[in-house]
Amino acid sequence: MKHIIAAVATLLALGAMFVVYQSDKEVNKMGEISKMIAKSQVKVNLGNNAPVVQQQTQTEAVSNEEIEKEQAKKKKELDEKLNALKSKAGNMAAFKVSSLYKQKCSSCHGVNGGGIIGPKLLGKSAEEVHQALTDFKSGKRKNYVMYGLLSKMDEAQLKSLSDEIGSFEQKLKAYQQQ
C-alpha cells in the first residue's frame, strides 16, 4: 500500500513539474510578445494639429540597441559565409584537379587547396602531405573524417594525391601569370 501511495505521489509530483514547465514556457512567450509589441509601438503627439513623434523611452532604446547588435551579428555571419563562397568560387577556375581530389578533399580543403573548413593545403610539399595522409590513415593523427576518407585508399592513391597537392602552389602561380 505504501508503495502505491509513493508511486501516485511521484506521478503527481512529475505532473506538477510538467505543468510548471509549460507555464514557464507560456510566460516566456508572453514576455517576448510584450517586448515585440513595445518595439513596434510609435507614440505620436497630435497636439497643435501637427503629428510629432515623441522620443523613445529608455526600454525602447535598449531594445533597439539589442536589435542593432543582433542585426550586426547576423550581417557578420552572412559576410563570412559569402566570403567563403566567393573564395570557393574564385578557386574553382584556377586549375584542374583530379577526380580523386574532388571526391575526397575539395569539400573541406577547397577546390584548389585554399582551405574552407579544413586547413589550407597550398604551399605544402608532397612529402609533408604524404606523411600527414599516412598518419591519418594509420590513426597516429586522430581525425575521424580523414580516417574515414583514407581508410580504403591504397598506397598508390595516397602517393598520387600527395603529389598532386604538393604541385598546387606551382599550378596556382602558373595560372596567375597567364
Greatest C-alpha distance within the chain = 90
Q: Is the pLDDT at 66 greater than 90, yes or no?
A: no
Class of domain 95-177: mainly alpha
Q: Are 55 and 133 in contact (CB under 8 A)?
A: no
State pLDDT tens for residues 76-130. Answer: 887 777 766 655 554 455 678 888 988 888 888 888 888 888 898 888 999 999 9
Tell me the whole-structure pTM to 2 decimals.
0.48
pLDDT digits (tens, 9 = 90+) for 144-177: 888 888 889 999 998 999 999 998 888 888 877 7
User: Smallest Cα–Cα separation from 38: which of 54, 61, 70?
Assistant: 61
